[in-house]
Amino acid sequence: MIYFDNAATTRPERAVAELAAHYLDEQFYNPSALYAEGYNLHRELEEARRELVSFVSDPDEFAIVMTSCGTEADNQAIFCGGRRGNIVTTMGEHAAVYAAAQEAGRRGTEARFAPLNPDGSADADALLELVDDKTSLVSVIHVNNETGAINDINAIAERVKAKNPRALFHSDGVQAFGKLPFRLGRNIDMYSVSAHKIGGLKGTGALIKRKKLVLQPYIWGGGQEGGLRSGTENVLGIAAFRAAARTRYLGGGIEKNYSVVRNVQSRLWELLDKQLFERISPEYGSPYILTVAARGVRGETILHMCDDRGLIIGTGSACSSNAAKKYSRVMQACGLGRELIDGVLRLSFNIHNTADEAERAAEILNDVVRTDRELTK
């Protein structure tokens, strides 16, 4: 089986799986408890938090609020950061930001959405036009989860702060953390990440925030996570997130992995029949995502036919697969026409994928689309 749907979720790393017995059988204590075993776990979690932050920023300047997932982290940023005036974001956001901004609009904080460039990146000039002195929060996704387009969030944040220094800047970094060589700049206030996108466990995410930034709690209760997100800590999930992040970052791994995955993506695109497929992903976007459109064939049909032949792929964001609208909001915002939008496929990669898998995947995809087109003539 070839698995090319890693933007949806990844297989947990072996180092992560090996942690399960230790934390479930031996270190099952409540880290908020006063006895020694609980306090020792608390210290271990504090070390994990600092290390996770250190991979993209200075842990003396940024703190981390552990959440249940990237969606919750995005929601916390939107609802706790955008509490007045207006929120400015883009049409290319993950549903966790897009739908949360819409809901904020229904609650009285105006939501404004900037258009996209054809590759799925944010139109930064148009976004800046929406920012005014009443803007409380700007949120721009780091890597578009449907096309892989990379937004220069440090540069965009600098422009936002120049126009309105009081506006908070948030970015959904779920498809960037553990994948792109990147450091948070001085104009970014909040950054959302997720464990299961990089070999950690589902059920763990985080909001990285500036220590000086004062936010209202998102979940009220016992005061965990610095009072911002109450609830007994997911010890195994946090430890697993740390272990997975180490496999990506330590020993120069982030740059090495980037190169390896770029080779897989390039090989796949090289072998796809250009008479059958059109590329949507930008050439210099994230190597972890390759989005294409098959002409004259429905993406869902291709997905099922490929699955039957041992290739697992996606058709877009898994989080919006149950949406009522037939076509992807992001693909529509990219300007994709009716002749292509029905055939969109998202192929996404992991550090363990190989060029041999890319070659076999291209063979399957070319054959599946040719076969379907012949059958429907």
In this predicted model, what pLDDT tens digit does every residue of 22-49 receive, in sequence order?
A: 998 898 999 988 899 999 999 999 999 9
| Beta sheet of 86-90, edge-to-edge order | 62-67, 205-210, 190-194, 168-172, 135-139, 86-90, 110-114
Within 10 angstroms of residue 52's Cβ, the number of other Cβ atoms is 26
Residue whose token pair is 């950690």: 200
User: Residue 180 has what pLDDT?
Assistant: 97
* 296 band by pLDDT with thresholds 50, 70 and 90: confident
The more confident residue out of 252 and 131 is 131
Question: Range with the lowest mean pLDDT among 2-6, 32-36, 190-194?
Answer: 32-36
Mean pLDDT of 294-304: 91
- Contact between 250 and 51 under an 8 Å Cβ cutoff? The reply is no
Does 237 have pLDDT greater than 70?
Answer: yes
DSSP single-letter state for residue 11: P
Q: Among 119-128, 189-198, 227-236, which is the least confidently predicted range? A: 227-236
Mean pLDDT of 221-247: 95
| pLDDT for the residue 323 | 47
What's residue 374's pLDDT? Answer: 67
Question: Do 123 and 91 meet the contact criterion of CB atoms below 8 Å apart?
Answer: no
Stated length of the chain: 377
E strand segments, 224-313: 277-279, 289-294, 311-312
- Mean of all residue pLDDT scores within the chain: 94
In terms of Cα–Cα distance, which of 231, 259, 230, 254 is closest to 244?
254
Given a cut of 70, whether residue 205 has pLDDT beyond it is: yes
pLDDT of 208 above 90: yes
pLDDT band at residue 376 using 50, 70 and 90 as cut-offs: low
* More confident call, 371 vs 288: 288
Burial of 32 (0-12, 13-18, 19+ CB in 10 A): middle
What's the confidence (pLDDT) of residue 252?
83
With 70 as the cut, is the pLDDT of residue 322 above it? no
Give the Cα separation of 341 and 113 in Å (integer).
21
Total Cβ atoms within 10 A of residue 258: 18
Which pLDDT tens digit goes with each residue over 116-147? 999 999 999 999 999 999 999 999 999 999 99
On the question of pLDDT at 373 being above 80, the answer is no
pLDDT value of position 321: 52
- Per-residue pLDDT, averaged over 40-66, amounts to 96
Residue 319 — pLDDT band, cuts 50, 70, 90?
Answer: low
Instruction: Quote the pLDDT of residue 324.
Output: 45
More confident of the two residues 7 and 339:
7
In the predicted structure, residue 320 carries a pLDDT above the cut 70: no
pLDDT, mean of residues 223-228:
92
> What is the mean predicted confidence (pLDDT) over 204-217?
96
343-to-60, 264, 299, 340, 363 alpha-carbon distances in Å: 47, 22, 4, 6, 18
Question: Which of 92-96, 203-207, 293-297, 330-334 is least confident?
Answer: 293-297
Residue 218 pLDDT > 60? yes
Chain segment 64-122, per-residue pLDDT in tens: 999 999 999 999 999 999 989 999 999 999 999 999 999 999 999 999 999 999 999 99
Rounded mean pLDDT, 228-243: 95
Distances in Å between the Cα of 5 and the Cα atoms of 9, 162, 192, 269, 353 are 7, 39, 21, 16, 11
Can you say whether residue 174 is alpha, beta or left, with left for phi > 0 and alpha for psi between -120 and 50 degrees? alpha
**Which residues carry out catalysis?**
319
DSSP letter for 13, please: P
CA dihedral for 25, 27, 32, 35, sign (positive or negative): positive
Query: What is the arithmetic mean of pLDDT over 4-32?
Result: 92
